[in-house]
Chains A and B, each alone.
Chain A
Amino acid sequence: MRHLLDFQGWTRPEVENLLDTARVMAEVLERPVKKVPALQGFTVATVFFEPSTRTRISFELAARRMSADVVSFAAQTSSLQKGESYKDTLLTLEAMGIDAYVIRADSAGVPHQATRWVKGVVINGGDGRRAHPTQALLDAYTLLEALGTLEGKKIAIVGDILHSRVARSNVELLPLLGAEVWVAGPPTLLPQTLPGARLTPHLEEALAEADAVMVLRLQKERMEAGLVHLQDYIAHYQVTEERLRKAKPNAPLLHPGPMNRDIELEGTLADSERSLVNRQVRNGQAVRMAVLYHLLVGKER
């Protein structure tokens, strides 16, 4: 593994190996002094061409807890439109001796493009609708914690699948670990196909006997584009206590955040014991530590 762009071409042992490392990192995070010298002397840049506070903080903490130096580049979309180029930004950072770049952009493919320009390691921090691999890794980690195994487990992903990089990355990753993934959403927010997943416009079909349910954020811009009516969405696709009865008893709930309470998910469920949202956030750090460690000092290098 040279970069982490998506899970195309990945094998199960590679994923399991990475998740094993994440478990070690999670132990580090339980210690009173949450810091190891593993990445001392390395410099990690978070390069966020699209704003995202949560993911950026998670990556930066992950790097700092392993003693890496961290620099942060946050570009406003407006400055990009003024002609600022991704390539020049990255080459400037390259000249400063960056070892790893965590790249977030609103267009699919920017991390791929970056690998053609910089010598350092590229980690996809979310690119357009394409991929958000560390989110999927933390989801897998959290699901494994809750379910013990993903082998033969039915995982339902609900919401705006078409525009979701979280859905795409989970659909690539979870089947590698043996899961059966169903995605459900309104027809206007479903892709034509998604290799690795079963698609359905019927929420109940996806929830039936599901071992876990992942709820995606419904973005306001989809309503503004006229692709979906909010009340109709709530009526037919909101994950509620009532609808969850179709799933396995106590099937856990995941959400990549930030959450629209009472839109995609009934508010009381968000606070219930089923919700693994806080575990996801905690595990995100451990998983990102593992990714940085594997890419910068792992034995593959």
Chain B
Amino acid sequence: MLLIKNVKLVDALGERGPVDVLIGEGRILSLHGGKAETVMDGRGLYLAPGFVDLHAHLREPGQEVKEELSTGLLAAVRGGYTDIVSMPNTSPPVDTPEAVRALRKKAQALGLARLHPAAALTQAQEGKALTEAGLLKEAGASLLTDDGHTNEDAGILAAGLLQASPLGLPVAVHAEDASLRRGGVMNDGPLADLLGLPGNPPEAEVARIARDLEVLRYALRRSPKRPHLHIQHLSTKRGLELLREAKRAGLPVTAEATPHHLTLTEEALRSFDPLFKVAPPLRTPEDVEALIEGLLDGTLDAIATDHAPHTQAEKEMDLLRAPFGIPSLEVAFPLLYTELHLKQGFPLSRLVELFTDGPRKVLGLKPLHLEEGAEASLVLLDPKERPVNPKAFASKARFSPWTGWVLGGWPVLTLVEGRAVYQALA
């Protein structure tokens, strides 16, 4: 039994308290105190439902030099996450029920964040033949995606949406037209022209979203059950507008945005540091503003990290050769708490929703609110500010675009079903 005294509550329903939260048997037993062996002082802290990440590259199997389950899931709980969707673009890709089961088993034994592996939409993620969606679902796959690759074959994507629809599995897409983005390594436009870097145009994302929404309309018309398209890491204003329109029209589509697309712009590339090389690329302040608007008005459903660890040496290659990706599991919430809530007045309750009920809904999980009887998968957050120090990361990727940024809202205790999976040293 754990009692957290005088703690403020924040979830998708709003902010409440301070109250005394009694936790036991994996649940919230009471919001009015009670007897417990362990008592914590929660004054000045926030208690929130545990975070859910729809998009993390944990690199296992096959790329353990970049990350593995033990480091990635530890990074997750240090970031306040209790549930993680791992991407299937590993070596080999996660495209069989056996691979999904093996990942889940290994993650369960670690006892950190719970793993919900995403499985490949197509065999070997080659975009040619669908995977065994039904068996993958039974093995515990949370969604289907060829992330890491783009879905160039619209027919296969349509078939994938149809196949997944009776199973209730979302199909997640990395929406970029590969033939339009070509070798682009940063946002296309005047800055890419100036820096002499190959540009990846916003139109590559927008055109692909437009196509995929039509593919979704087709699947919707053809399927007795509603398919579910999920757009990953949306980065452009125009893409957001298309999404908003589609949602108004009642299309079964959801979408996520990443911490880096919400806090950084293409200007970062002036440093010629491949740390900022990511796909889709960092865009313009206008895009960032539009994305934040989309978070507010519900066009965007979730904040997902796209945590993409690589080795230091890989991120010190040149900009043409360095791999795409930014690691962020351990800073995502503090970053947005500080940059969006504290600095721009973004409502805290909505921000927490984008880390909790938002992604839960995408996965078909029930909402989680801080009520008596609720599952005690929770995170305790400290508004006290400190600088980002990647050297202390649990992730193998010990570098960050936000190094030195002074942030508040750091997780100090993460519980999964009442069990402490992370506790910061006092």
Contact = CB atoms under 8 A, between A and B. Distances in A.
A105 B316 CA distance: 14
B218 interface: no
B273 A113 contact: yes
Contacts of B197: 108-109, 128-130
Interface of A is mostly: loop
B424 interface: no
A51 to B, nearest CB: 16
Contacts of B195: 108-109, 130
Interface of B is mostly: loop
Interface string A191-228: 11111000000000000000000000000000000000
Interface in B169-199: 188-190, 193-198
B318 A194 contact: no
A42 interface: no
B193 A193 contact: yes
B193 A107 contact: no
B194 A108 contact: no
Nearest to B322: A107
Contacts of B74: none
Contacts of A130: 195-197
A128 B316 contact: no
B196 A128 contact: yes
B271 A85 contact: no
B392 interface: no
Contact of B320 (A128, A192, A194): A128
B320 A107 contact: yes
A109 B316 contact: no
Contacts of B273: 113
Contact of A194 (B194, B198, B317): B194
A165 B196 contact: yes
Contacts of A87: 313, 316
Interface string A105-141: 1111110110000000000000111110000000000
Interface residues on B, range: 10 to 19
Contacts of A194: 193-194
A127 B188 CA distance: 19
A9 to B, nearest CB: 12
Nearest to A194: B193
Contact of B321 (A107, A127, A193): A107
Interface string B204-216: 0000000000000
B9 interface: no
Given A85-B313, A86-B318, A192-B190, A112 B196 contact: no
Q: Which among B188, B194, B320 has the highest number of chain A CB atoms within 10 Å?
A: B194
Given A85-B313, A112-B272, A113-B273, A107 B318 contact: yes
Contacts of B271: 112
A168 interface: yes
Contacts of A113: 272-273, 316, 318
B268 to A, nearest CB: 12
A168 B318 contact: no
B79 to A, nearest CB: 28
Contacts of B188: 192
Contacts of B196: 108, 127-131, 165, 168
Nearest to B198: A129
B45 interface: no
B193 A110 contact: no
Interface in B371-393: none
Nearest to A49: B318
Contact of B272 (A86, A108, A193): A108
A107 B322 CA distance: 11
A128 B198 CA distance: 10
A195 B321 CA distance: 27
A290 B266 CA distance: 35
B189 A192 contact: yes
A110 B190 contact: no
B194 A85 contact: no
Contacts of A129: 196-198
A191 B193 contact: yes
A111 to B, nearest CB: 9
A130 B198 CA distance: 10
Interface string A163-190: 0010010000000000000000000000
Given A109-B272, A113-B273, A195 B320 contact: no
Nearest to A199: B193
A129 B197 CA distance: 7
Contacts of A109: 195, 197, 272, 318-319
A49 to B, nearest CB: 8
B307 to A, nearest CB: 24
A165 B193 CA distance: 11
Given A113-B273, A192-B193, A86 B320 contact: no
B320 A106 contact: yes
Contacts of B194: 168, 193-195
A21 to B, nearest CB: 27
A55 B272 CA distance: 23
A112 B272 CA distance: 7
Contacts of A110: 272, 318
Contacts of A193: 190, 193-194
Nearest to A87: B316
A86 B193 contact: no
Nearest to B189: A192
Nearest to A167: B196
19 contacts: A80-B321, A86-B317, A86-B318, A87-B313, A87-B316, A107-B321, A109-B195, A110-B272, A113-B273, A113-B316, A128-B197, A129-B196, A129-B197, A130-B195, A165-B196, A168-B194, A192-B190, A193-B194, A194-B194
The 6 closest A-B pairs by CB, nearest first: A109-B272, A130-B196, A129-B196, A107-B318, A191-B193, A107-B320
Given A113-B273, A130-B197, 19 more contacts: A85-B317, A106-B318, A106-B320, A108-B272, A108-B319, A109-B318, A110-B272, A110-B318, A112-B272, A127-B196, A129-B196, A129-B198, A130-B196, A165-B196, A192-B189, A192-B190, A192-B193, A193-B194, A195-B190
Interface of B: 188-190, 193-198, 271-273, 313, 316-321
Interface of A: 80, 85-87, 105-110, 112-113, 127-131, 162, 165, 168, 191-195
